């Protein structure tokens, strides 16, 4: 897991204001301020405030409170967060920013890096039988057609599924053709692995 602290947070205004009040933040908080407030809330055992600064859903709150009931766990996480702040990244679909000495800077990756990373995650999830993650990386039409359970069943029934995964893994080592709308990995002369861009993110559309 990356040591950076993402800035994609789902917060209530009141909870955020309460968590940041001790820091005197009158303006809209940036990623650094949110991360610092989160670490401080953990250090002070203000778990409700800390939880409000995460993007976790309400049903995950009990496990969060149980996990951080241990003071040593809270302290370790606070230290980890504070250590990551100097290398903080802000991420959104199709956009990443990095906190540098000169201020926030746009991160421009090689065009093939993003589709290669998504395909790697998909293949790793399939090989680990993590069907929920694999399903989440499919294109919109495929997610509409499948559920994680049905995806698992299809891979079990398909006699060539393992071979397709093997070929796709080999394709990762080769070149990728990237356009504005999709990325394509070649598998031999006639087959491809195709990813499409949806809302700025790559998703797996076909493995031939």
- Going from N- to C-terminal start, the domains of the chain cover 13-106, 113-207
For the domain with range 113-207, which CATH number is right: 2.60.40, 3.40.50, 3.10.450, 3.10.510? 3.10.450
How far is it, in rounded angstroms, from Cα 34 to Cα 113? 28
Burial environment of residue 42 by CB neighbours within 10 A (0 to 12, 13 to 18, 19 or more): buried
pLDDT of residue 58: 87
Q: Is 133 helix (H, G, I), strand (E, B) or coil?
A: helix
SS3 content of the chain, % helix, strand, coil (to 5): 50, 20, 30
Mean pLDDT to the nearest integer, 58-80:
90
Listed residue (86, 88, 64, 60) closest to 77, CA to CA:
64
Average pLDDT for the chain: 82
pLDDT of residue 201: 87
pLDDT of residue 131: 94
In order of 58, 88, 167, the CA distances from 177 in angstroms are 41, 31, 17
In this prediction, residue 84 has a pLDDT band, given cuts at 50, 70 and 90, of confident
Mean pLDDT to the nearest integer, 17-24:
48
Beta-bridge partners for 25: none
pLDDT of residue 108: 66
In this prediction, residue 9 has a pLDDT band, given cuts at 50, 70 and 90, of very low
Assess contact for 99 and 88: CB atoms under 8 A.
yes
Q: 87-119 pLDDT, tens per residue? A: 777 776 667 777 777 777 777 677 788 899 999
Burial environment of residue 136 by CB neighbours within 10 A (0 to 12, 13 to 18, 19 or more): middle
Higher pLDDT, 204 or 199: 204
Strands (E), the chain: 89-92, 95-100, 103-106, 176-178, 182-187, 191-198, 201-207
* Range with lowest mean pLDDT among 43-57, 80-94, 118-132: 80-94
14 φ, ψ to 5°?
Answer: -65, -45
Higher pLDDT, 34 or 11: 34
Mean pLDDT to the nearest integer, 132-157:
94
């Amino acid at each position: 897991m990356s040591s950076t602290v993402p800035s994609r947070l789902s917060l209530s205004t009141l909870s955020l204001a309460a968590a940041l009040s001790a820091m005197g933040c009158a303006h809209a908080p940036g990623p650094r301020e949110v991360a610092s407030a989160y670490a401080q809330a953990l250090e002070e055992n203000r778990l409700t405030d800390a939880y409000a600064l995460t993007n976790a859903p309400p049903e995950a709150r009990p496990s969060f409170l149980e996990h951080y009931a241990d003071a040593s766990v809270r302290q370790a996480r606070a230290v980890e967060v504070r250590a990551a702040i100097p290398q903080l990244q802000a991420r959104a679909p199709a956009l990443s920013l990095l906190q540098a000495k000169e201020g926030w800077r746009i991160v421009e990756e090689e065009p093939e890096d993003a589709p290669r990373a998504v395909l790697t995650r998909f293949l790793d999830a399939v090989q680990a039988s993590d069907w929920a993650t694999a399903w989440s990386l499919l294109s919109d039409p495929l997610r509409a057609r499948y559920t994680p359970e049905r995806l698992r069943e299809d891979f079990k029934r398909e006699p060539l599924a393992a071979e397709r995964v093997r070929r796709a893994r080999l394709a990762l080592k080769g070149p990728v053709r990237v356009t504005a709308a999709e990325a394509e990995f070649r598998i031999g002369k006639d087959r491809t692995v195709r990813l499409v861009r949806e809302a700025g993110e790559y998703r797996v559309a076909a493995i031939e």
